[in-house]
Amino acid sequence: MPEPAPVSVPPAPLPSAPLPTAPEDGEGRRDATAYPVLSGTVSGAALLLLCEAAGSVFVAAAVALGVFVLLWGWPAVVGSPEPAGTRLAIAVAAAAAYLSGALDPAGLEVRQLPVAIAAGLVAGFLAQLVRGDIHAGVVAALTAGGAGIALVAAGLAYAPLPESRYADRPVAAAVAGIVASVVADLLPARMRGLRLLAACLLGAAGGAVAGGLLVPGADLLVAGLLGLAAGVVSLAVRITLGELPGARLHSAPPVIAAASLLAPGLLVYTFARLLLG
């Protein structure tokens, strides 16, 4: 009888080194809020502080830098199934806002933002209509675009403050609160409640210190409230985005840092208008 042909067995694959990941906390969850996010947040806050002293145009330019960061990495971080459509929605909203500010003699104002938001949302819907299959991931794509538009609108609310409320330095109080809240990121990731409470206290202290140092006769209570609001919103954004799968990407830290700086803008503007007269 003929002998059976030998069966070749492929060699076993060599073990590969594991990909580098963020450190894990005590419960085994990875904390994606890494030091690059914190350093990016502090750097962006310093840029906003310097631009506030230079005027509204420079604050709008600083916000535009954050918008470009979102255009670059936001779809990947939030897992948008249609990155081009998400970028288009964000770009149209930002372009409409800046164009409105350029055409208005008063400059960029919050009253112009609803039109910009509407333009961005329309662009997001139209981007879905030109897809081959509008049923696949349409909700996720629209949600990603809508969240990006909201961040753009919130960040642009910083721009009018240097012209209308420069003597009170509300942007300085807000960014001081954001920088102070960064300390809360050093607490264990599983202690969310404690981190948010720490962000409240640190943000209020940072805002009050900034008001006391930069504004003679400042209302420290209002400055502390601005710092508290900005600090806790900024930390909440970093926590939320840091738990997404896309937060493990190399492009995520600057995107998360930019989002945490832009998000408190509209709240800071509202408090400044209501409490500073």
Q: CA nearest 165: which of 235, 96, 98, 110?
A: 110
Dihedral sign, Cα of residue 158, residue 163, residue 165, residue 167: positive
CA–CA dist 142, 63 (Å, integer): 23
- Mean pLDDT of all residues in the chain? 85
By the 8 A CB rule, do 56 and 108 touch? yes
- pLDDT tens readout for residues 43-101: 999 999 999 989 899 999 999 999 999 999 999 999 998 899 999 999 999 999 999 98
**The pLDDT of residue 206:** 95
Asked whether residue 16 carries a pLDDT value surpassing 80, the answer given is: no
Q: How far apart are CA 182 and CA 155, in angstroms?
A: 19
Write the DSSP symbol of residue 81: S
pLDDT of residue 33: 47
Q: Report the pLDDT value the prediction gives residue 59, as an integer from 0 to 100.
A: 94
DSSP assignments along 88-137, one per residue? HHHHHHHHHHHHHHHHSTT-S-GGGHHHHHHHHHHHHHHHHHTSS-TTTT
**Buried b / exposed e across 101-126, counting CB within 10 Å, b at 16+?**
beeeeebbbbebbeebbebbbebbbe
**Rg (the chain; Cα; Å):** 23
d(CA 44, CA 232): 17
For residue 136, what pLDDT is reported?
61
Phi, psi of 38 (to 5 degrees): -65, -45
